[in-house]
Amino acid sequence: MADALELDALWQDFHRVVNMTSAELAAWLKVRDADEETEPLPERAGTPTGQHVLAILQKRRTDLTDDDVRVMYEVVDTVGDLVDMENEPEPERTPEDTRRRHRLMTLGHDPLKP
């Protein structure tokens, strides 16, 4: 596992890029997986990474596992690659923007959220 200073920085970065609450993310994952014919059990809704992000949001920093740390790095890197965190979010204009937003929301980041 990462050393204490590295883990502190990662914890801060993760909570900076994951701007949805655990309740918002849980609701989004359920909506995202809802289908006309079938709907997964609520605790299984969403992608494995989305579920892992949700689990991390419900943990204390001292309870993190090596797998949690790996997912946190992955989420910080992915969101950082897709979003300019320094600028204000722009409204969605195209279906591609909507798909991008939905992908980010599955990781716990809503680019339209202030």
Q: What is the pLDDT along the chain (114 residues), one digit of tens a residue?
A: 668 889 999 999 999 999 999 999 999 988 765 554 555 555 556 788 999 999 999 999 999 999 999 999 999 999 988 886 666 555 556 777 788 888 999 999 998 887
Q: Does pTM top 0.75 for this prediction?
A: yes
Half-sphere CA count of 12, side-chain side, radius 13 A? 5
**Cα 38 to Cα 28, 29, 51, 61, distances in angstroms:** 16, 14, 19, 35
- Do residues 112 and 91 touch, judged by C-beta distance below 8 A? yes
- How far is residue 24's CA from residue 27's CA, in Å, rounded to a whole number? 5
DSSP label at 92?
P
